Amino acid sequence: MRLTMFALGAAMSFFSTVALAQGGDVQITHPWARATPGGAQTGAAYVTIESPSGDKLTSVSTPAAKKAEIHSMTMKNGVMEMRRVQELDLPAGKPVTLKPGGYHIMLMQLAKPLAAGESFPLTLNFAKAGMKQVTVTVEKVGAMGPESGSGGGMNMPGMKMHQ
């Protein structure tokens, strides 16, 4: 009985998150962040966004950090460069995945360190779809994807950083 209630509760909270994320014209899936190493004042959050008709991600914010920005990460001749991106283009029907080694949402001046297992709200503003809020789950330090248990995910294509 208690288990049923728990499952029902879990299902309801799951669906409410999905409903929230899918409102309007964009789908936001797998919001996750990395736990921050001790002493770090910045963190990174990642999401996958798909807009059926094309849109732009224009800004982000979260109570977890004083400042949140969209950043690109590129390697030029072995030199890593991180740059703020004013808006992230979302081509129609093509999911855009923010991931380690690519685009990330940079969280600056964290309110407190991001600890694995915790979660925090993240607001994304789109040019057309407006404001969306998702709940970001914090994974382990150095995690490469949105599900913990990196030991079991050795063959996941998402584990490798490309580009």
Partner 1 sequence: MARQTKTKGPPFVLIATAFAGVLVLVAGVLIGVAFRNSGHGVAGGPLGAAIGGKFNLVDQNGKPFTDANLKGKWNLVFFGYTHCPDVCPTALNDLSLAVDQLGDKKKDVGIVFISVDPDRDTAAVLKSYVESFGGPIEGLTGSAQEVAQAAKDYRVYYAKHPTAGGGYDMDHSALIYIMDPQGRFTATFTPEDTSDTMAARLKKLVG
According to DSSP, the residues that pair with 73 across neighbouring strands are 82
| Nearest distance in Å: CB 95, partner 1 | 20
Give dist(CA 109, CA 86) in Å, integer: 19
| Nearest distance in Å: CB 47, partner 1 | 15
Interface map 19-38 toward partner 1 (x if CB under 8 A): ---------------xxxxx
Is residue 111 close enough to count as binding partner 1 by CB under 8 A? Answer: no
Judged by CB under 8 A, the stretch of 3-11, 18-26, 53-61, 67-75 that binds partner 1 is 67-75
Tokens 């288990």: give the residue. 3
Query: How buried is 152 (Cβ within 10 angstroms: 0-12 exposed, 13-18 middle, 19+ buried)?
Result: exposed
DSSP 147: S
| Nearest distance in Å: CB 37, partner 1 | 4
